[in-house]
């Protein structure tokens, strides 16, 4: 079994062509190997396509962003919702995802970059675009006129990111007329 | 016709008489022989005791001497560890048994603590090095020969400790029961033919097993040994087992 080129040059790992990869394993040692592989696959695909969210629902209905990963038509296998649910919870327990909205377990934000890494990305972007010391609304960051590395970042993840920057004195959270704003500061780490 | 003891009734008496004396003589002879053997055995025993008390320390400390001693034992057909009693008289006399068992415990220690990293197979030289380190002795004090002999004493424990010759003069020590039983070998052979996939049905029709035997073999490989994977979406049977070592991977 070999690797297949999928969405815009994404290379699926060869284990994705193994029938059993789509079944939750009763042997815990085997399952932990599978969980590692699934986690890596989900995060790298998410990064490749800039997907921030995965839902149990993605395994229930076809036609979503995740079909290429959660299904393999060639061997007629798919990840069942219950399996995706347990993979998601394994990722949450490893701090590679968090439930959003909170208090449910069917939808997560994927951390293909950790909040600390996003903080650096945000600060570098602010510096590179000459927007230090100006007040930016969160919307200007998530949906900038010129696409940026932060385009489309979910608000909850952006807030976590800003919190990290404020702790190190590199940003200030400010209330503005239509909600929240942030002022990026030069301050070092 | 020559008749022993002559003729007449008196001949019977005479014959009985001589038979009695022969019997007496034979008893006496055997008694002498047994006495003689007893003396010899006592001498042997005292010589051994003397040897043991004299060389006990050298045997335990000096690998060259130990090797010579083991060779002497095997050339006269004596196993220093064998005997009717625990450890054997020889072994008790020399303290050889304790030494060997002690080494065995340390071998188990090393094998178990490195299992995570090496999957239960360790190179013999590496094992000797680690056991020496554990004992706090220099290299060469414990030899490969000692370790191999100790591993043999572990065999009755049934933990699967075994020295495997992998060729090129390299020896490995296996500390997990990974030996495939006959049923597992059959499953592997079937899997090999099907690109890794095995179902109960295959084993029933092709190997002529009962369904129970097929299920038990597959479930053991799946749950106990982790030698195969479960596919719960098999189109034909609902449940198929995949043996990764029999699957074709491009990478």
Domain with residue B220: its CATH number is 1.10.10.10
Q: Is the pLDDT of residue B239 over 60?
A: yes
Indicate if B125 and B61 belong to the same structural domain: no
Q: Which of A18, A26, A27 sits opposite B242 (nearest CB)?
A: A18
- The rounded distance, in Å, linking the Cα atoms of A44 and A25 is 22
Contacts of B249 in chain A (CB under 8 A): 1, 14
For residues B54 and B101, state if they share a domain.
no
* pLDDT for the residue A66: 96
Report which of residues B28 and B83 the model is more confident about: B28
Could you tell me which residues come within 8 angstroms of residue A40 by beta carbon, excluding any fewer than 6 positions away?
A13
How much is the pLDDT for B101? 78
Q: How far apart are CA A74 and CA A68, in angstroms?
A: 11
End-of-domain residue from the set B154, B174, B194: B174
Nearest to B244 by CA among A119, A21, A9: A21
Q: Which two tokens stand for residue B24?
A: 């007496």
Q: A117 to chain B, minimum CA–CA distance in Å?
A: 32
Is residue A108 within 8 A of residue A85, CB to CB? The reply is no
* B87 against A118, higher pLDDT: A118
Same domain? B160 vs B199: no
pLDDT at B192: 76
Judged by CB atoms closer than 8 Å, whether chains meet at B232 and A23 is answered as yes
Q: Is A116 left (phi over 0), alpha (psi -120 to 50) or beta?
A: alpha
Distances (CA, A) of B235 to A19, A24, A37, A114, B185: 11, 17, 24, 40, 26
- For each successive 10 residues of chain A (189 residues), what is the average pLDDT? 61 92 93 93 96 96 93 95 97 96 95 95 94 91 93 94 94 83 81
User: Would you call B229 and A22 a contact, using CB atoms and an 8 Å cutoff?
Assistant: no
**In-domain check, residue B4:** no
Å from B75 to nearest chain A CA? Answer: 49
Range with the lowest mean pLDDT among A10-19, A120-129, B54-63, B106-115?
Answer: B54-63
- Report, as an integer, the average pLDDT of B67-93: 62
Taking CB atoms and an 8 Å limit, are A2 and B251 in contact across chains?
yes
A2, A22, A27 ranked by CB distance to B250: nearest:
A2
> Are B169 and B107 contained in the same domain?
yes
Which tokens belong to A181? 């704003």
Extract the tokens encoding B36. 């003689």
- Which residue from A minimizes the CA distance to B224? A27
Residue B119 inside a domain? The answer is yes
Instruction: Give chain B's domain count.
Output: 3
Residue B251: inside a domain, yes or no?
Answer: no
Task: Evaluate if residue B178 carries a pLDDT over 70.
Answer: no
> Are residues B137 and B110 located together in one domain of the fold?
yes
Are residues B148 and B200 located together in one domain of the fold?
Answer: no
Interface residue A1 vs chain B (CB under 8 A) = yes
User: How much is the pLDDT for B83?
Assistant: 44
B215 min Cα distance to partner chain A (Å):
15
Residue in chain B closest to A20 (alpha carbons) equals: B231
* Burial per residue of A7-31, b for 16 or more beta-carbon CB atoms within 10 angstroms, e otherwise: eeebebebbbbbbbbbbbbebeebb
Q: How far apart are the C-alpha atoms of B177 and B226, rounded to whole Å?
A: 13
User: Is a pLDDT exceeding 80 seen at residue B158?
Assistant: no
**Is the C-alpha dihedral spanning B10, B11, B13, B14 positive or negative?**
positive
Range of the domain at B39: 13-75
In this prediction, residue B170 has a pLDDT band, given cuts at 50, 70 and 90, of low
Give dist(CA B133, CA B4) in Å, integer.
81
Beta bridge partners of A176: A179
* Alpha-carbon separation of residue B36 from B29, B30, B31, B42, B50 (angstroms): 10, 10, 8, 10, 21
User: Alpha-carbon distance B172 to B179, whole Å?
Assistant: 14
Helix then strand count (H, E) for chain B reads 10, 6
Q: Which helix (H) or strand (E) holds A90?
A: helix A81-93
For residues B169 and B187, membership in a common domain is answered with: no
More confident residue, B178 or A34: A34
CB A101 within 8 A of CB A55: no
Tell me which residue of A16, A48, A24, A151 sits closest to B232, measured CA to CA: A24
* Mean pLDDT computed over B119-137: 79
- Residue bearing the bigger pLDDT, B73 or B124: B124
Domain final residue, candidates B131, B156, B174: B174
What domains can you pick out in chain A, each with its CATH number?
A: 4-110 (1.10.10.570), 115-184 (1.10.10.10)
Q: Which residues contact residue B228 at a Cβ distance below 8 angstroms, ignoring those fewer than 6 apart?
A: B187, B191, B198, B218, B221, B222, B241, B242, B243, B244
3-state helix/strand/coil string of B138-154: CCCCCCHHHHHHHHHHH
Whether residue B67 contacts residue B145, with contact meaning beta carbons closer than 8 Å, is answered with yes
Mean pLDDT, rounded, of chain B: 77
Identify whether residues B103 and B167 lie together within a single domain.
Answer: yes
Residues B169 and B194 in one domain: no
In this structure, the answer to whether residues B55 and B104 fall within a common structural domain is no
Among the candidates B174, B190, B216, a domain finishes at B174
| List of chain A residues whose C-beta atoms are within 8 Å of the C-beta of residue B233 | 19, 22-23, 76-78
CB–CB contacts below 8 A, A to B: 51
User: Which one has a higher pLDDT value, A78 or B2?
Assistant: A78
Chain A CA closest to residue B222: A27
Instruction: State which residue of chain B sits closest to A80, comparing Cα positions.
Output: B233
What is the arrangement of strands in the sheet containing A135-137, beginning at the earlier edge strand? A135-137, A179-184, A171-176
Residue pair B231/A19 in contact (Cβ under 8 Å)? The answer is yes
Pick the residue with more confidence: B228 or B84? B228
pLDDT tens readout for residues B191-238: 878 888 999 999 999 989 998 889 888 988 888 877 789 999 999 999
* Percentage, residues of chain B above pLDDT 70: 76
Work out the minimum CA distance from A69 to partner chain B, whole angstroms. 17
Residue in A1, A3, A30 closest to B229 by CB: A30
B206 with B160, same domain: the answer is no
Name residue A107's beta-bridge partners. A55
- In the predicted model, what is the mean pLDDT of residues B73-78? 67
Give yes or no: residues B25 and B70 share one domain: yes
Ranges B90-99, B170-179, B216-225, B226-235, most confident: B226-235
∠B105-B78-B159 over CA atoms, to 5°?
30
- A29 neighbourhood in chain B, CB within 8 Å: 226
């Amino acid at each position: 079994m070999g690797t297949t080129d999928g969405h815009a040059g994404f290379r699926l790992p060869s284990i994705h062509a193994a029938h059993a990869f789509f079944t939750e394993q009763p042997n815990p040692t085997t399952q932990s190997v599978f969980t590692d592989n699934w986690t890596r696959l989900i995060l790298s695909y998410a990064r490749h396509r800039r997907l921030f969210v995965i839902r149990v629902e993605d395994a229930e209905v076809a036609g979503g962003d995740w079909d290429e990963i959660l299904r393999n038509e060639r061997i007629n296998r798919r990840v069942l919702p219950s399996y995706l649910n347990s993979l998601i919870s394994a990722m949450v327990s490893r701090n590679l995802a968090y439930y959003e909205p909170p208090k449910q377990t069917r939808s997560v934000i994927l951390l293909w970059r950790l909040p600390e890494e996003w903080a650096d990305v945000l600060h570098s972007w602010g510096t590179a675009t000459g927007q230090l010391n100006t007040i930016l609304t969160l919307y200007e960051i998530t949906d900038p006129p010129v696409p940026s590395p932060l385009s489309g970042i979910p608000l909850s993840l952006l807030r976590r990111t800003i919190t990290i920057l404020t702790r190190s004195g590199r940003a200030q959270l400010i209330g503005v007329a239509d909600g929240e704003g942030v002022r990026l500061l030069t301050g070092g780490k | 016709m020559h008749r022993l003891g002559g003729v007449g009734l008196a001949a019977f008496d005479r014959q009985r008489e001589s038979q009695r004396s022969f019997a007496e003589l034979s008893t006496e002879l055997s008694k002498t022989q047994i006495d003689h053997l007893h003396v010899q055995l006592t001498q042997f025993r005292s010589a051994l005791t003397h040897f043991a008390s004299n060389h006990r320390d050298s045997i335990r400390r000096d690998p060259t001497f130990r090797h010579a001693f083991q060779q002497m034992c095997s050339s006269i057909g004596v196993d220093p560890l064998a005997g009717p009693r625990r450890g054997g008289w020889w072994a008790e006399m020399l303290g050889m048994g304790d030494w060997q068992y002690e080494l065995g415990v340390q071998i188990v220690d090393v094998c178990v603590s490195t299992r995570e990293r090496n999957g239960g197979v360790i190179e013999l030289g590496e094992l000797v090095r680690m056991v020496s380190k554990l004992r706090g002795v220099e290299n060469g004090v414990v030899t490969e020969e000692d370790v191999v002999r100790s591993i043999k004493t572990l065999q009755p424990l049934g933990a699967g400790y075994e020295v495997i010759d992998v060729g090129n003069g390299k020896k490995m020590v296996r500390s997990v029961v990974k030996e495939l039983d006959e049923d597992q070998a059959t499953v592997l052979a079937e899997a090999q033919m099907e690109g890794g996939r095995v179902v109960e049905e295959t084993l029933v029709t092709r190997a002529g097993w009962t369904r129970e035997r097929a299920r038990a073999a597959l479930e053991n490989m799946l749950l106990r040994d982790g030698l195969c994977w479960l596919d719960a979406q098999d189109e034909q049977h609902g449940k198929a087992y995949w043996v990764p070592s029999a699957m074709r991977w491009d990478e």
